Structure 1
Amino acid sequence: MRIRDLASTGALALAALLAASGCGIGGAGDDTPALQGEVTGEADGEITFQTWNLKADYDDYFTALIAAFEEEHPGAAVRWLDQPAEGYAEKLSVDAAAGELPDVVNVAPDLVHPLAEAGLVLDLDRARPGAAGAYLPDAWAGFTMPGGSGTYAYPWYLNTGPIFYNRALFERAGLDPDAPPATYDELFEQAVAMAEATDGEVAMLGQTPGIVDLGLYGSEPMNPEGTEFTFNDAAAVELVGHYKDMYDAGALVPEALTQDYTGSGEQFMSGAIAWAPGSAYDLANFRTNAPTLYENVGITGVLTNTGQAHMYLQGLAVSARTAEPATAAAFAEFVTDAANQEAFAREVQIFPSTAGSLDDPYFTEDDGTDESRVRVAAAEQLATATSYTPVRFSDQMQNILRNEIALAMLGDKTPQEALDAAVEESNALLGTD
């Protein structure tokens, strides 16, 4: 799936459905016991492989990939399924509850978490000991369960991105387009200056901070045990306070109180805001759909107080009740090996999760184009990036956080009160209160 900073919808519903159903999983049916221990044997069985909204654009790539695996493993057969982006989590819920989850399935960290808790996907640390060494450590860690042991999906493709800014809007506000903010303090200062210089007609930002923003600023979103959220700490309160100051100055558009990343991106493309996070694939979108913006777009690094950018992550999980565990594990490892991930990264502007792949000249050498500049910068960030989104942080919790921060922006609550309320409600959904 195209990676954005959006929580996967339905993760909480998936967890609830699995808990209620107690059903088995996988092509083998409900009577097949969950696998325990190491998976060995020949990869010569028939399996199903499900992706997330990839067939329309990458049919040729996956068809060739499957053919190569089947040629390398005589007797193996892979049936490819692809589900649309809309309703993917709900489809996963239904399949899991019915015992029909595909043998190898595309998941994000928040979607694999309830499957892992229900014992429906393989613990790869037990099933394939030693597999972790092939991947970036933080990518592998993205599919481990907080407060527990085990890793439940192979890291697949990654993304991160720079900050895009509108040079023309910076010039209009009297700001130097060659010196965009490099620190949070500079962002806060320039955002207010832009609003004041344009009498509120130009806003720097299009959304209030989400869980990733809090993490980048230095907040610890969740305790190490994974039992409660902690994003009401001093760093989070400080950041929300700065956003309140910017909101009061007109540096955030009014829609910032309700919209998500997608809405903010659309406003950036329309010229309503001057600053927006992005990813490597956005430049092509700007060129096609916002040519005026494309002519004026500036590119700068992600702001972070931790020294680590945020990593968006997709993976492949293996059913714990597949009838063909050796074939399923071998295929998941084949899809996510260095050669195939690097080839996929040349098909679409994403990045491989395999150790050493980001050292390839494709990811390190700038050929003078904006696309390569963004690609090289993003690859450099990914070498040390981490995920700031706890796997237990659901779409419902994101909405709670957004609503509470909106109350802080409006002055109905202090930043501390708003974050305390968001943490309390989110923890209640975990069942920890």
Structure 2
Amino acid sequence: MRAGRLTASVAGIIALTLTAAGCGLSGGSGGGDGTAGGCKVDKGNVGSGKLTGDVKGQITFQTTNLKKDFGAFFNGVIASFEKAHPGAKVKWIDDPGDNTFTQRTVADAQACTMPDVINVNAPTATALTKAGYLLNLSVKDPEVAKPFVPSFWKSATFKDASGSAVHTTLPWYTGGVLLTYNKDLLEKAGVDPAKPPTTLFGLFADYEKIAKAGKGTFYATMANPVWRIPSDFDQMNIKTLSADGRSAVFANDPRTTQWVAWMAKLYKEGAMPKDSLSSSNDPSTLYSQGKVAYGSTNPSFVRFVKQNSPSVYDKTAVGQQPYDALGRASAGAPQYISVAATSKHAPVALAFAEFLTDAENQTAWCKDPDVVIFPTTTDSLNDPFFQKVTGSDPFSQARKLVADQLKTADTNQTNLSPAVQNAIVGQVQLAMQGKKSPAQAVKDAQAKANDLLKQAG
């Protein structure tokens, strides 16, 4: 698993608005034809009623950028499932997980060729749920929620075409959120590595100290605000959107303007590389070169550093991401498993999705020594592997820190479309360049976001 894969999932959630002919679900339990999106499907896949039928037939299971590192594990899961269900076959495919993933998956759905069981992120789940291409899991199996930590199960809810919240995903694994930092660089700036700040503005104050100490030889973090919007707003408990998601409200909170003012000040003072303002690169490369003090907030980033820069890994420590106004840690956005409503063998697909995400399989995968990821089931998090971590190395400390958070953490990522997120980011970038005042940038960002939200309906 590449660090960037999970990093993108916790740094900021974006969603694609999908328009397709015949949106939504129709039909009821039983045989015959129904529709899912623009596709004809068995009536048992849609509408009310528990899914029934034999667990027989071949399905396609798609992951995202996992086959290279975890082939043996998933082949074992598939073999165990097929042994338990002799009439079932699972074909595994792996998607590279690039920035066109949502668009490509939407296109597959519209062509009625989406994989039966698919690993999705929040943007993709948002788009597919709105168009009716995913199985309503809590309807098709009323017992499906039982294994999961309540906050993660809550995060697995997305809105259908009518605006109703439905469970179209199973929470699978999460990266958690923490601070990763170079102890030597912090000490050079007079920042105590053993005392992470408790607020984002406190973290920004540390960034300022690093800028003064580094003087362009090293930096605090990357400049592009795309990595921080809306995740920083979420952690500060700034409401980005109204409750119904139809309008932007972040400008109503004075802390938003304060946040933009801090970003502009830090950029001007050299806390961030000037050429990173519009770059899509995360901190991975520069951190591994010892040129950035703070790395990714994703725990799996620690693995990336260990593999690519052992000397920097020896200087690396992890700490609590600021709780800030939220008062507790954010668990970020988990990865999900969904079942296609267009599946020709939906009973097989649903059974496999539940088998893949059960406590036994989640625990087994998250114990892999080469990854720092965390399960979403209660039984998994109770495993001594997560509760009795004793090592002092960054890997072990990352596991312990995040595992301690997850049972009470909120999965509170705000879903923004790419257009809305880019509109906000663009105005913040203008303020950081000194081309607009922070107050004007926030005002204009909200106006542009509202125009886009209105157009999307």
Q: TM-score, normalised by structure 2?
A: 0.85
Contact 1:364 1:376 in 2 (8 A): yes
Q: Equivalent residue for 1:30?
A: 40
Alignment of 1:137-176 (within 5 A): 137-146=150-159, 148-176=164-192
User: 2: CA distance between counterparts of 1:318 and 1:200?
Assistant: 49
Equivalent residue number for residue 219 of structure 2: 203
What is the CA deviation profile of residues 85-122 of structure 1, one whole-angstrom value per residue up to 9, with x for unaligned ones? 23432331221111111211111121011211111111
Instruction: State whether residues 423 and 449 of structure 2, in contact with CA within 8 Å, keep that contact through their aligned partners in structure 1.
Output: yes
Structure 2: unaligned runs, 5 residues or longer = 26-33
Is 1:345 equivalent to 2:348 in the alignment? no
Q: Is the 8 A contact 1:69 1:331 kept in 2?
A: yes
Q: Establish whether residue 395 from structure 1 lines up as the match of residue 418 from structure 2.
A: yes
What is the distance in 1 between the residues matched to 2:296 and 2:95?
A: 27
Q: Residue 378 of structure 1 aligns with which residue? A: 402
CA drift of 1:21 comes to: 8.7
Which aligned pairs between 1:21-420 and structure 2 lie closer than 5 A?
30=40, 32-33=42-43, 35-37=46-48, 38-86=50-98, 87-146=100-159, 148-207=164-223, 208=225, 209-234=228-253, 235-260=255-280, 262-305=281-324, 306=326, 307-347=328-368, 348-370=371-393, 371-391=395-415, 393-420=416-443
- Larger deviation: 406-415 or 93-102? 406-415
Contact 1:195/1:201 (CA < 8 Å) preserved in 2?
Answer: no
What fraction of aligned residue pairs are identical, expressed as a percent?
31
* 2:375–2:381 CA contact under 8 A, matched in 1: yes
Could you tell me how far apart the structure 1 residues matched to 2:14 and 2:320 are? 32
Q: Is the 8 A contact 1:104 1:332 kept in 2?
A: yes
Quick one: which amino acid aligns to residue 311 of structure 1? G
Q: What is the SS of the residue equivalent to 2:153? A: helix
Measured in 2, the distance between the counterparts of 1:175 and 1:51 equals 41
- The question of whether the paired residues in 2 share the 8 Å contact of 1:161 and 1:378 is answered with yes
Answer yes or no: is the 8 Å Cα contact 1:257–1:402 preserved in 2: no
Moved more, 144-153 or 181-190: 181-190
- Distance in 2 between residues matched to 1:132 and 1:411, nearest whole Å: 49
Match in the other structure for 2:447: 424
Q: Deviations over 1:110-150 (max 9, x none)?
A: 10112111111111121111311221122122221255221
CA distance in 1, matches of 2:39, 2:164: 28
Q: CA deviation at 1:19?
A: 5.0
Residue 185 of structure 1: how far off its partner (Å): 4.1
Contact preservation (8 Å) 1:135, 1:354: yes
Deviation at 1:299, TM superposition (A): 1.6
- Match of 2:146, SS state, is helix
Instruction: Return the offset for 1:73.
Output: 1.7
- Mapped partners of 1:94, 1:359: distance in 2: 40
Give the drift of 1:342.
Answer: 0.7
Partner-residue secondary structure (3-state), 1:79: strand
Q: TM-score, normalised by structure 1?
A: 0.89
Kindly provide the amino acid, as one letter, of the partner of residue 356 in structure 2: V
1:44-93 deviation line (CA, Å, top 9, x unaligned) = 23222111122122221111111111111231222222222234323312
Uncovered stretches (5+) of structure 1, i.e. residues with no partner: none
Partners of 2:404 and 2:203 in 1: how far apart? Answer: 22
What CA distance in whole angstroms lies between the structure 1 residues aligned with 2:427 and 2:410? Answer: 26
1:405·1:415 contact (CA, 8 Å) conserved in 2? yes
Deviation at 1:398, TM superposition (A): 2.9
Describe the shift of the 1:39–1:267 C-alpha distance in structure 2 as closer, same or farther (beyond 3 A): same
Aligned residue-pair number: 428
Question: What are the superposed Cα offsets for residues 236-293 of structure 1, whole Å, 9 maximum, x if unpaired?
Answer: 2222222223233322332342234x43232222222212333332223212212221
SS of corresponding position for 1:342: helix
CA contact (8 A) 1:140 1:154 kept: yes
8 Å contact from structure 1 (residues 8, 395) kept in 2? no
Equivalent residue number for residue 8 of structure 2? 5
User: How far apart in 2 are the matches of 1:355 and 1:181?
Assistant: 29
Opposite residue 51 of structure 2, the aligned amino acid is V
Tell me the amino acid that sits aligned with residue 298 of structure 1. A
Name the SS for the 1:169 alignment partner.
helix
SS at match of 2:283: helix
SS in 2 for 1:284: helix
Which deviates more, 313-322 or 173-182?
173-182
Tell whether the 8 Å contact from 2:13 to 2:413 is kept in structure 1 after alignment: no
CA distance in 2, matches of 1:8, 1:77: 36
Please tell me whether the aligned partners of residues 217 and 236 of structure 1 are also in contact (alpha carbons under 8 angstroms): no
Q: Structure 1 pair 73/113, CA: closer, same or farther in 2 (3 Å)?
A: same
d(CA) in 2 for partners of 1:421, 1:390? 20
* RMSD value, Cα: 2.8
CA-to-partner distance for each residue in 1:137-182, whole Å, 9 max, x for gaps? 2212222125522111111111113211112112222333333434
